[in-house]
């Protein structure tokens, strides 16, 4: 029972993990993105754009900027810097450290045995 719950929690983890040491250091854009996500989590790509001060008034601007941010988010997810989950069309991200703490908290909870109340 508990292992099924943990599998559900890990469903947001990347299928292909890349060693952080092998991956090149992040760019200035990715550093800003990480700072925004750590300051305002959970957040989406368009919220990140607004926090960075970008104009997202027209549909075309939203599409282009969202695509650019999602590209960098996916790159940071592969590096295990961020966690992400899709809710409909929105990609929601939060810091990887938060996910680690959440899983540890879940593992420390006492297991309820069936039939005992």
DSSP 11-71: GGS-SS---TTTSPPP-HHHHHHHHHHHHS-SEEHHHHHHHTT----SHHHHHHHHHHHHH
Backbone angles phi, psi at 113, to 5 degrees: -85, 140
Question: What is the domain partition of the chain in residue ranges?
Answer: 38-99
Q: How far is Cα 42 from Cα 19, in angstroms, rounded to an integer?
A: 24
pLDDT of res. 117:
54
For 4, which DSSP code?
A: H
Q: Give me the CATH topology for the region 38-99.
A: Arc Repressor Mutant, subunit A (1.10.10)
pTM, to two decimals: 0.61
Q: How far is Cα 90 from Cα 97, in angstroms, rounded to an integer?
A: 21
Q: Reply yes or no on whether the pLDDT at 15 is more than 80.
A: no
Confidence of residue 41 (pLDDT cuts 50, 70, 90): confident
């Amino acid at each position: 029972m508990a292992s099924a719950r943990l599998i559900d929690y890990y469903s947001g983890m990347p299928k292909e993990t890349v060693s952080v040491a092998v991956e090149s250091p992040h760019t200035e854009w990715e550093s800003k993105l990480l700072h925004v996500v750590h300051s305002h989590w959970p957040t989406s790509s368009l919220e990140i754009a607004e926090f960075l001060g970008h104009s997202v008034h027209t549909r075309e601007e939203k599409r282009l900027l969202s695509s650019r941010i999602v590209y960098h988010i996916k790159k940071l997810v592969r590096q295990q810097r961020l966690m992400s989950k899709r809710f409909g069309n929105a990609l929601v991200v939060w810091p990887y450290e938060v996910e680690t703490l959440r899983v540890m908290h879940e593992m420390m909870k006492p297991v309820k045995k069936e039939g005992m109340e």
